[in-house]
Structure 1
């Protein structure tokens, strides 16, 4: 299970709220797996992720543009790469159904990437926004 910790906070209420939603969705999947119901929950998780990356990344990118974030293009590339990962996992699900390896991939490829991205990249965006707002 993933925990919301201080090092995941960006200080931007909207972004942090969306990140918390994401962590909850991943934890819901992990909880379902622990109860032997992961295959039933994976569709909900994938639907959430597909909508999440579109909405959340668009919101983040609008903020970056609004505040003139200097590394916007690289950050956008990270987002596009991740959207491709999510699309690939959804295609794998649609082709082969809810398999144990697919569920493991959601945990490693999705949750791991996002936690790392928040800690490494999103906190830099938030720091930039705070510096501009002063």
Structure 2
């Protein structure tokens, strides 16, 4: 089921929150392209857009974590790599089976549901780390 962006997904880092909203929009676009059965080529283009968007977003997050010396960076990188592997599997399924309801549901699981879990579990940890940095006075951060 498509879920809309909600303030509960906000981690308090404006640039990253904006990108998360864009990620939601890209997930919706992917789901709709599959459900509209616009053809494998159109869906492949939307998947490529999703990959490019994820690469830019993950680079932003990873740079942010490095700048703030986040200790969980290595584990976070593993999560990002896993996302790309799942996206590749989705592409393979698209080429083998074409657009279908099952593929659309998997696309939501891989993109939107993964993102929601990732924000709640992983991204919130580095946001809390940055907030703690600000309170301790080591590196003030406006979030």
Whole-angstrom CA distance in 2 between matches of 1:91 and 1:30 = 16
Contact 2:16 2:61 in 1 (8 A): yes
Aligned to 1:23: 24
Aligned to 2:68: 67
- Give the TM-score of the pair, scaled to structure 1: 0.84
* Equivalences for residues 30-45 of structure 1 within 5 A: 30=31, 37-40=36-39, 42-45=43-46
Aligned to 1:117: 118
- What do residues 16-67 of structure 1 show as CA deviations (whole Å, max 9, x unaligned)? 111101111223344566xx61545633431221112211111111111110
- Give the TM-score of the pair, scaled to structure 2: 0.79
Cα 1:30–1:86, aligned 2, differ >3 Å: closer, same or farther?
A: closer
- Bigger Cα displacement from structure 2, 99-108 vs 42-51: 42-51
Aligned to 2:104: 103
RMSD across aligned positions (CA)? 2.1
Contact 1:32 1:38 in 2 (8 A): yes
Q: Could you say which structure has the higher helix fraction?
A: 1
Whole-angstrom CA distance in 1 between matches of 2:61 and 2:101 = 32
Structure 1 or 2, whichever has the larger Rg, is 2
Whole-angstrom CA distance in 2 between matches of 1:31 and 1:89 = 15
Q: Which runs of 5+ in 2 are unaligned?
A: 135-139
Q: Which runs of 5+ in 1 are unaligned?
A: none
Give the number of aligned pairs.
Answer: 132
Whole-angstrom CA distance in 2 between matches of 1:74 and 1:56 = 17
Whole-angstrom CA distance in 2 between matches of 1:107 and 1:45 = 13
Contact 1:10 1:122 in 2 (8 A): yes
